[in-house]
Amino acid sequence: MKPAKLVMGALVSALLLNSASLWAAPEVNLYSARKEALIKPLLDKFTEKTGVKVNLVTGKADALLTRLKSEGKNTPADVFLTSDAGRLHRAEEANVLQAIQSKELNASVPASYRDPEGYWYGLSLRARPILYVKNKVSPETLSTYEALATPEFKGKICIRSSSNIYNQSLVASMIAVDGEADTETWANGLVGNMARPPKGGDRDQIKAAAAGQCVIAVANTYYFGKMLAGGDAAQKTAAEKLAVFWPNQKGRGTHVNISGAGVTAHAKNKDNAIKLIEFLASNDAQSWYAQVNYEYPVREGVKPSNVLAQWGSFKADNLNLSRLGDLNSKAVMVMDRAGWK
C-alpha cells in the first residue's frame, strides 16, 4: 500500500474513533451504600429526565470506601453515596472526594447538612430519638440524652455497640456541646444503665424492648418507620409497642444525621456527577425519600411521609454535621474508656 493511502487510512480510523466517542451516551458511575431497591427508581428518573445513564454499584459502606481507596485514580466511580456524616468525613480524610461548587446544592441543602468546603452534601435525614415502651414508661419521665445516665434508668436501656457509626456520631455531637469530660461521665453512666451488653442493630434494640428485655431503646427513625410500615408482621407488632420521644427539645435539639454524597476525587464524568447529586437534592427526589424510605427530607418545604408525620414535629440539633467527623476519634476513645462494648 502506498504511503499516501496509509496516511489516509489512519486519518479515517482516527475520525471514526473520535466520532464514536463524541456520540457515546453520557453516563455517570455511582458507588452506593444504599441498597439498589432504595435508589434505583430515583436513578431511572434521573436518566429519563437528563438522558444520562447511571451505572450503579452497591455494597456495604465501609467496603465501598475501602474499594475507592484501593482503586485510587483508576476508580470508575464518579459519585460516592453513603450513610452518616462520619463516613462521609472518613471519605474526605482519605482523599477520595473532591470539593465542588454548586449554587443549586448550596440553595437546597441547609448549611448544617453539608460540608463547608463542598466535599459532600446531605440528601436525606434521619433522627436518633429515644424510643420507649408505651405501657411501661411515661414520657413525662423522659427529657434528654444526658438524663439516660441517671440512676432512674438502671438496667432499662438497649442500645447497639460502640463500633456503630450512628452511636459514634451521637457521642461526637454530645462532645461538641457538653465537652469531652462531661460526655465521658455520661457514657460511664449509660453503660451502667444498659439492660444487656450491646448486640445487633437498631431493629434488634426495638425488638428487645418490645420483648421486655428493656424499656428504652435508642434507634434511628429510619429503622422504626421501616418496621412499622414494612411487610414483616412480627417487626410491626414489636414496633407498635413503642413510641417516639424527642430528647433535648429545651436545649440543642434531637441528634440528626444524614445519608449524603460527594464527587470522587478522580471522577471521569464530573459534570454528570454534579448533575446527579443536584437531582437527588431536588424536590421530586426529596419527596420520594420522604414517602418511600421513611427518611426526613433535607430540603425545606418537602413533607415527610404519613408514618413520620404521626410522630409530630421536633427541634433538630443544628450542629454542622462535619463536626461529627472531626470529633469521631474522641468519641470512640470516650466510649472505649467507659467500657461501652
Q: What pLDDT is stored for residue 289 in this prediction?
A: 81
Q: What pLDDT is stored for residue 24 in this prediction?
A: 63
Cα separations in angstroms, 206 against 210, 244, 329: 6, 11, 27
Confidence of residue 11 (pLDDT cuts 50, 70, 90): very low
pLDDT in tens, 62-85: 999 999 999 999 999 999 999 899
Q: In the predicted model, what is the mean pLDDT of residues 158-165?
A: 96
Stated as kind and residue range, the H or E segment containing 91 is helix 85-93
Q: 301 pLDDT exceeds 80?
A: yes
Q: Phi/psi of residue 229, each to 5°? A: -110, -5
Q: What angle do CA 187, 192, 195 make, to 5 degrees?
A: 115
Stated as kind and residue range, the H or E segment containing 29 is strand 27-32
pLDDT in tens, 204-243: 999 999 999 999 999 999 999 999 998 899 999 999 999 9
Q: In the predicted model, what is the mean pLDDT of residues 145-164?
A: 97
pLDDT in tens, 120-143: 999 999 999 999 999 999 999 999
Which residue, among 341, 329, 333, 328, has the nearest Cα to 191 in the 3D structure?
A: 341
Q: CATH top-level class for 127-255+322-337?
A: alpha beta
Q: 45 pLDDT exceeds 60?
A: yes
Confidence of residue 7 (pLDDT cuts 50, 70, 90): very low
Q: 31 pLDDT exceeds 50?
A: yes
Longest dimension (CA), the chain: 95
Q: What pLDDT is stored for residue 61 in this prediction?
A: 92
pLDDT in tens, 141-150: 999 999 999 9
Which residue, among 147, 173, 126, has the nearest Cα to 334 in the 3D structure?
A: 173
Q: What pLDDT is stored for residue 159 in this prediction?
A: 98
Q: 19 pLDDT exceeds 50?
A: no
Contact 23, 51 (CB under 8 A): no
C-alpha cell at 217: 431503646
Q: 15 pLDDT exceeds 50?
A: no
Cα separations in angstroms, 99 against 114, 170, 238, 270: 11, 26, 43, 11
Is residue 130 exposed (0-12), middle (13-18) or buried (19+ Cβ within 10 Å)?
buried
Q: What pLDDT is stored for residue 220 in this prediction?
A: 96
Residue 59 in 3-state DSSP? coil
Q: 258 pLDDT exceeds 80?
A: yes
Residue 275 in 3-state DSSP? helix
Name the residue ranges covered by the structural domains of the chain: 26-125+257-303, 127-255+322-337
Q: Could you tell me which residues are beta bridge partners of residue 261?
A: 81, 121
- At a CB cut-off of 8 Å and minimum separation 6, what does 225 contact? 294, 295, 305, 307, 308
Mean pLDDT estimate for the chain: 92
Task: Estimate to the nearest angstrom the gap between the alpha carbon of 221 and the chain centroid.
Answer: 12
Contact 297, 287 (CB under 8 A): yes
pLDDT in tens, 175-209: 999 999 999 999 999 999 999 999 999 999 999 99
Q: In the predicted model, what is the mean pLDDT of residues 293-307?
A: 89
Q: 17 pLDDT exceeds 50?
A: no
Residue 7 in 3-state DSSP? helix
**Is 127-255+322-337 in the same CATH topology as 26-125+257-303?**
yes
Q: Could you tell me which residues are beta bridge partners of residue 83?
A: 259
Q: 169 pLDDT exceeds 80?
A: yes
Which residue, among 278, 299, 283, 301, has the nearest Cα to 104 in the 3D structure?
A: 278
C-alpha cell at 181: 469530660
Cα distance between residue 102 and residue 80, in whole Å? 17
Number of H helices, E strands in the chain: 15, 11
Over pLDDT 90: what percentage of the chain?
A: 83
CATH code, residues 26-125+257-303: 3.40.190.10
The pTM of this model reads 0.88
